[in-house]
Amino acid sequence: MAITLNNGFKIPIIGLGVWRMEGKAIRDLVINSIKIGYRHFDCAADYQNEAEVGEALAEAFSTGLVKREELFITTKLWNSDHGHVVEACKDSLKKLQLDYLDLYLVHFPIATRHTGVGTTDSALGEDGVLDIDTTISLETTWHAMEELVSLGLVRSIGISNYDIFLTRDCLAYSKIKPAVNQIETHPYFQRDSLVKFCQKHGICVTAHTPLGGAAANTEWFGTVSCLDDQVLKGLAEKYKKTAAQVALRWGIQRNTVVIPKTSKPERLKENFQVFDFELSEEDMKLINSIDRKYRTNQPAKFWGIDLYA
């Protein structure tokens, strides 16, 4: 149920993503997920809920539900804090009420105008386009990330939303190799070349949006969910599982970490019940055949620029 990272630390192969979760719901979700068996939580400064997650974790520790060392906590550096990496990390640690992070990621390979540590704004210029800071290189940002390991604030560091070009570059200039690249990947957006490149070079791939965003991304981005695909529905029937469980199992059998997000208690349990069956090689290939190269998470909606163009 875990993948060993290139520095020897282990990352649980399934985690809970907390994007777009608010208030009291977070407390209940975190506590319930720990009771179900989740030991991996994927956070980010940009989600604007680190303080609420921190309160839930503190409760879990103080009541003896779980020990800190039993959990794997990830959070991420926001674009506007690339020039303030140490301060941003300390701000996240304070909000999460933690002494260290298991994993800290560069959320996007882009620096934007600084708006104050932890504010996580995406400042737009007068033209309505994201105000990109062209004075801070990703190499500079990465060396500041490496400093976090030296300071004992972070055990592992990684990247997110990096393509092959940027990942290769990071491998070239890094003293501490990225342990993880967190990317959108699911049956409709398989990105096999990127996944294999990372794995070949000792970088663990974490799949954010492993269910293709489902209803949430349909609402935000108008996208189609892979969970409605007839192939996944047919396999769900065959294995007596749900389409979501089949999609998550496919991700796990690719040796990628999956971090599905849900705010529904029944789905929380369902998403974790993926260790009692295995997809055959033929069925893995069948899912491989439905790739549409279809991105569902597209921040251009908010930034006025397609950074993936």
Catalytic residues: 47
Residue type at position 178: P
Question: Do residues 208 and 183 touch, judged by C-beta distance below 8 A?
Answer: yes
- Pinpoint the alpha helices (H) of the chain: 23-36, 50-62, 85-96, 138-150, 164-173, 192-200, 214-221, 230-239, 243-253, 265-272, 281-288, 300-303
Angle 124-127-133 from CA coordinates, rounded to 5° = 45
Q: Tell how strand 10-12 and strand 2-4 pair up.
A: antiparallel
Q: How far are the Cα atoms of 67, 137, 185, 243, 281 from residue 169, in angstroms, in the given order?
A: 37, 12, 21, 37, 34
Angle of the 85-96 helix axis to the 138-150 helix axis, nearest 10: 50
Chain centroid, CA 18 distance in Å:
9
DSSP per-residue string spanning 5-24: -TTS-EEESB-EE-TT--HH
SS3 194: helix
CB neighbourhood size of 17 (10 A): 23
85: left (phi over 0), alpha (psi -120 to 50) or beta: alpha
Question: Do residues 16 and 40 touch, judged by C-beta distance below 8 A?
Answer: yes
